[in-house]
Copies of this chain bind each other. A is one copy, B any other.
Amino acid sequence: MRALLFLLPFALLAQGPPPRLVSPEVHPDRRVTLRFRAPNAAKVTLNREGGRPADLVKDDKGVWSITTEALAPDMYGYSFNADGVSLIDPGNPSMKPNLLSTTSMFHVPSPDASLLWETRDVPRGTVHHHFFRSAICQDQRDFFVYTPPGYDPKAKTKYPVLYLLHGFSDDASGWTSVGQAHVILDNLIAQGKAKPMLVVMTLGYGTLEVLQNRTMGKKSFDLFGESLLKEVIPTVEKTYRASTNRAQRALAGLSMGGAETLVVGLNHLETFSQLGAFSSGGIPGDFAQTFPNLTAKANDQLKLLWIACGKDDRLIDANNKFVAFLKERNVKHEYVVTEGAHTWLVWRRSLSTLAPQLFR
C-alpha cells in the first residue's frame, strides 16, 4: 500500500492533471448537474437551498455527480458533504461569503430576467464600502452603502435611507453578494416601483465573540444598536445626501437582523418610522423585558411594521409568538407568512416586497 502511494505522484504526472470538471452545469430545461471528484470518499451528499439533502453517485473515474429536477429560476446556495465534511464546489468561482460556513451558488436564469435579483440592462446604482474603527465595539469594522442610479453628491435632493441588516454568520457584504439588494433596488427603481433610496448594510454584531460562542446574546445586541445609532447613522448622514427626518428612515433585516430590527427599531421610534423583520430569530430576554415601553402609542409613530416568515422556517413559531405579543399590546403590524424556509430564496423576495412600501 505504501509503495502504491509512493508511485501515485508519478502516475499523475504521466497522465497529466485530471480533466477539469464542469460544475455546476445548468441545463436549458433548468435541471442542474453538479460534479465533485473524490475518488476515495465513501459518501457525498448535496445540500441545496430549497431542497432536501440528496446523495451523489460515483462513476468509475472517481467523479461523483447528481442532476436535480427542473428547478424554478433562482439563485441557489449549495455545498457538498463528503464523508461528514461540508465543502464548496471547487469548480465554481461563485462563493457565498459567510463567517461560519462557506458555500457555493448557482443561478438558474429566468427566460427574460424576470426575477428582480437578476441583472438587467437598466441604470445601475453604486455600492460603497466604508471602513472605520468603532469606539463602541472596539474594533475595525465596515459597512456598505447603496446609492441609486443618478445619485449626485452635489445635488440638493435628500434621499430616504433603509438600514438593512444581515443574519447570524453573514458579514456586512451578505445583502449585496448573496442577497443582491443593489440589483433588486436598481430593478424596482427602473420600474418606478420603489423610491430612489440609500440602503446601508452594516456589520450586525456588537462583538464578534458571538461567532465563536455560536450564540447571540444581549451584549452583542446592545453594542450593535449603540454603534448603529451613534456611529453608523451619523456617518451616513454626514457623508451622503441622506434625509435626517425619521419619516425617511427605515430599518429592516433577516433572522438575527430581523430581531435587531425589532429590538433597536421598536425601542427607537424617535429614529425610525418603518420596520421590516424577515424570519426573525434571537430576540434576547422575554418580550415584556425587551420591549418595556411598547404600547398602542407606538401606532402614532409607526408608519409600517412589516413582519414576514416562511411557513417552513424553523422560526415560524417564534414569529407567531412575537405577533401574538404585538396583538396583546395593540401594536398595528402586517404579518405575512410566505412559502419557503430559512433561506435567501425567501429573503430576496421579502426585500422585493418591502422596498416598494417604504417612504410612501
Contacts and interface: CB of A to CB of B under 8 A. Distances in A.
Nearest to A99: B93
Nearest to A39: B83
Interface string A6-43: 00100010000110000000000000000011111111
Contacts of A42: 5, 8, 40
A236 to B, nearest CB: 12
A124 interface: yes
B126 A39 contact: no
B88 A88 contact: yes
Nearest to A92: B102
A131 B93 CA distance: 19
A40 B41 CA distance: 5
Contact of A121 (B18, B125, B127, B133): B133
Interface in A122-162: 124-133, 140, 153-154
Contacts of A90: 85-88, 101-102
Nearest to A140: B119
A282 B83 CA distance: 41
Given A87-B90, A90-B87, A38 B128 contact: no
B126 A126 contact: no
A102 B133 CA distance: 30
B127 A128 contact: yes
A217 interface: no
Interface in A79-130: 82-88, 90, 93, 95, 97-102, 119, 121, 124-130
A131 B36 CA distance: 33
Contacts of A36: 85
Interface string A31-74: 00000111111110000000000000000001000000000000
A129 B131 contact: no
A259 B182 CA distance: 33
Contacts of A129: 126-129
A152 to B, nearest CB: 9
A85 B97 CA distance: 21
A133 B121 CA distance: 7
Nearest to A86: B90
A38 B38 CA distance: 10
Contacts of A43: 5, 8
Contact of A126 (B37, B98, B101, B131): B131
A203 B39 CA distance: 36
Give the 4 A-B CB pairs with smallest separation, nearest first.
Answer: A153-B153, A124-B131, A127-B129, A40-B40
7 contacts: A8-B42, A37-B83, A39-B84, A40-B40, A40-B42, A40-B83, A127-B129
